[in-house]
Chains A and B, each alone.
Chain A
Amino acid sequence: MTIAQQVKTTLASLKSAQANLESFALATQNKQAKQVYTQAAQTTQSVVDQLQQRVGQLEKEEPTYKGF
């Protein structure tokens, strides 16, 4: 696996974790837990955004692997 592919895998799992955190935030009735989940989801989302940018850069550098 090239670096671009590895980063994409990590990006995918982070996205899934982020989505899970959001659904936990929706499911829980407890205010404190809801807040913790929401914050965690937001932070994770910001990391996802950063990684997304990096993937764009990598794809520019290794156009062969674009889309994989």
Chain B
Amino acid sequence: MQPGGHASWLKGVIEVPEWVHIIIRTLISFCAMFVFARLIGKRQLSQITFFEYIVGIAIGDMAAIIPDELDAPLYHGLLPMAVYTALPIALSWVALKSKSARDFLEGHARVLIRDGKILEDNLKKERMSTDELLEHLRSKNVFKVADVEFALMESNGTVNVLVKSEQQPLTPKRMGLQVPPEVEPQAVIMDGQIMDEALATIGFNRAWLKTELEKQGVAVENVFLAQVDATGQLYIDVYEDKLKIPEPQTLPLTNITLKKAQADLESFALATADVQAKRMYTEAAERIQQVIDKVGPYLTR
């Protein structure tokens, strides 16, 4: 490098050694890249399209110009970076507003299997071989093409599979079971500290927590993590891993008590000779059975 050969905005102000110049420019390009990356959005790498991927590389390349070409003014790097950031944002805004623009810009999913039949033409259009298709299916835990009802390739290249209904996992809905709504549990103790906010959210206070801890014979300081679920059951993990803390049993115990009482009532009904008492026992047994049917799902989770 000849002295004075690199005219720069910084050199004009104060004389700095070249290495300081490089560091400053690197920091600027680093910060600019960070800002532009945040502007582009927070989508995961696996969700971006190929185009967005290339745009990312291009921006990175321009960022490299800033510390590399000391002669060039800063905006030679920053300006194209800004344009390259603005364009995808503008395009994604257009895509958000119009369906046809979306299809053009982001591509659309292509059906590979419909009604259990492989669509060979679409496979060809995606340039996918039979082996690749099978590989994609296997990655979705489908080993038999016969199990597939519907499969499509998303615009980002992943293959999603809908298996036939008889192959789908059993859910309470399919079983016709009524189950209680799931409510997120709250962590009420973390690292021995009581979380008052979480405790209030789930509708309890410190006094309640103290009582529950006493019931299980644990001091707050020894608790690594404690969670309360919607039914007010407290699950505790203590620092000492050898210590066994019993899981709360009130819910299942109540279920069992009810079941036993129901069986007792039935046997009383059989045992008694008194017609009126027999009728009363049978009716009581039926009502307890109704209670078990209704409340059972809430007690056995």
In the complex the two chains form, is A7's CB within 8 Å of B268's CB?
yes
Which B residues lie within 8 Å of A33 (CB)?
180-181, 230-231, 298
Q: How far is the CA of A10 from the CA of B265 in the complex (A)?
A: 8
In the complex the two chains form, is A37's CB within 8 Å of B291's CB?
no
Contact count A vs B, C-beta below 8 Å: 86
- Which of B202, B257, B261, B281 sits near A29, CB closer than 8 Å? B202
Which B residues lie within 8 Å of A54 (CB)?
277, 280-281
Q: A39-B294, A50-B284, A54-B280 are in contact. Are A13 and B180 (CB under 8 A)?
A: no
- At the interface, yes or no: B205 with Cβ under 8 Å from chain A? no
In the complex the two chains form, is A20's CB within 8 Å of B180's CB?
no
In the complex the two chains form, is A28's CB within 8 Å of B260's CB?
no
Interface size on A, residues (CB 8 A): 30
Q: How distant is A66 from chain B, measured CB to nearest CB, in Å?
A: 18
Q: How far is the CA of A57 from the CA of B272 in the complex (A)?
A: 13
Which A residues lie within 8 Å of B277 (CB)?
54, 57
If over half of B's interface residues share one DSSP class (helix, strand or loop), that class is named, otherwise mixed; here it is helix
Q: How distant is A34 from chain B, measured CB to nearest CB, in Å?
A: 10
Q: A29-B203, A33-B181, A54-B280 are in contact. Are A21 and B261 (CB under 8 A)?
A: no
In the complex the two chains form, is A30's CB within 8 Å of B180's CB?
yes
Interface size on B, residues (CB 8 A): 33
Q: A28-B231, A33-B180 are in contact. Are A40 and B295 (CB under 8 A)?
A: yes
Residue pairs across A and B with Cβ atoms less than 8 A apart, 24 shown, are A3-B268, A3-B272, A14-B257, A14-B261, A20-B250, A20-B253, A20-B257, A21-B254, A24-B254, A28-B231, A29-B202, A30-B181, A32-B181, A33-B181, A33-B231, A36-B294, A36-B298, A37-B298, A39-B294, A43-B287, A44-B258, A44-B288, A46-B287, A54-B280
Q: A10-B265, A30-B183, A51-B284 are in contact. List 20 more A-B contacts (CB 8 A).
A: A3-B268, A7-B268, A10-B268, A17-B257, A20-B250, A20-B254, A24-B232, A24-B254, A24-B298, A28-B230, A29-B183, A30-B230, A33-B230, A33-B231, A40-B294, A43-B287, A43-B288, A44-B258, A47-B288, A54-B280
The 10 closest A-B pairs by CB, nearest first: A27-B232, A40-B295, A10-B264, A20-B254, A17-B257, A47-B284, A40-B291, A14-B261, A29-B203, A13-B257
Q: Which residues in A have some Cβ–Cβ distance to B below 8 Å?
A: 3, 6-7, 9-10, 13-14, 16-17, 20-21, 24, 27-30, 32-33, 36-37, 39-40, 43-44, 46-47, 50-51, 54, 57
